[in-house]
Amino acid sequence: MRGAAGKTPAWLIWILAVLLLVSAGVAYRIPAHHLKLLGEAPIALPVPLSDFPMQIGGWKGSELSIRATTREYMEEHFADDFFSRRYVNSAAKLWADVYVVYCSTRPGGILGHRPRACYPAHGWLHDGSETSQFTSQAGRQVACLIHRFHKPPPVHDEKVVLSFYILNGEITTNEGDFSGVFGRRPNLAGDPGRYVAQVQISSPLESSVIKAAEGIADLVFDFLPDENGRVRSSGNIKPRSGDGESKPRSGG
């Protein structure tokens, strides 16, 4: 309908504009919701981290309990797989807690698991962080960060946390490598080789975290896809036996 001067009435233009905005919003929300569902479907590793060995050389592991609220936090930050254990080396009189988390549905979700986010959330005060490195038993030079925390009185507790990331099979300590578009974009292809994992090893003593890292790191790398997407432990590790141990497959 046109007015006397042959122009479209202002009220009709306003109605058409509103309808256009509404239809555009609906058209956006439908694929966005679909992408959200696809992006949050858990992506499984070829060998689950629950099969990570309990006995590694002189280190013997035991599962650490995780509170329901912590599990909810991990799920909200896209933890597709993880383990949390205490490893004890009785001969060396050392112990360290080992936490490995794998994020592939939304790789950038790993930022919610970094020490400087999760430790202060549980009452720890950050004393400082520094770059460092260690050498794995296979001779691999691994760059890492050393974080120091303490709990205020009356607890008087201290903790040293060694951490590093594994981005698509490559080691990094730089969160900028995956905090941009790569981290925010959902893994719609479901490719387990597109991921960020984090390794955290903690103990009151720096010597304990270094020794544990040296003894355990190579196996962690075997459980995560390398730069070519290959998982070296695939086909070589049996699922947990009745005694809770993961054992090599015969001929592996």
**90-99 pLDDT per residue, tens:** 999 999 999 9
Output 229 or 2, whichever has higher pLDDT. Answer: 229
Does 39 have pLDDT greater than 60? no
Is the model's pTM score more than 0.85? Answer: no
Q: How confident is the model at residue 112 (pLDDT cuts 50, 70, 90)?
A: low
Every domain of the chain and the residues it spans: 41-223
Among 46, 102, 50, 100, smallest CA distance to 78 is for 102
Q: How confident is the model at residue 181 (pLDDT cuts 50, 70, 90)?
A: low
Determine the Cα–Cα distance for residues 135 and 200; give it in Å rounded to an integer: 16
Output 23 or 13, whichever has higher pLDDT. Answer: 13
Output 61 or 27, whichever has higher pLDDT. Answer: 61
Contact 44, 190 (CB under 8 A): no
Cβ neighbors of 69 (< 8 A, separation 6 or more) are: none
pLDDT at 185: 79
pLDDT at 21: 53
The mean pLDDT value for 146-163 works out to 93
Among 190, 191, 193, smallest CA distance to 169 is for 193
For residue 176 the two structure tokens come to 């900028």
197's enclosing H/E stretch is strand 196-203
The mean pLDDT value for 163-169 works out to 95
pLDDT in tens, 50-104: 999 999 999 999 999 876 656 665 666 568 899 999 999 999 999 999 999 998 8
CA 115 vs CA 15, 58, 164, 207: distances in Å: 52, 27, 10, 19
Poorest-pLDDT segment among 88-92, 114-118, 140-144, 239-243: 239-243
pLDDT at 24: 43
Does 5 have pLDDT greater than 70? no
Contact 164, 172 (CB under 8 A): yes
Q: How confident is the model at residue 139 (pLDDT cuts 50, 70, 90)?
A: very high
Q: How confident is the model at residue 251 (pLDDT cuts 50, 70, 90)?
A: very low
pLDDT at 199: 96
Average pLDDT, the chain: 80
Output 69 or 166, whichever has higher pLDDT. Answer: 166
Contact 184, 177 (CB under 8 A): no
Binning the chain into helix, strand and coil, the percentages to the nearest 5 are: 35, 30, 40
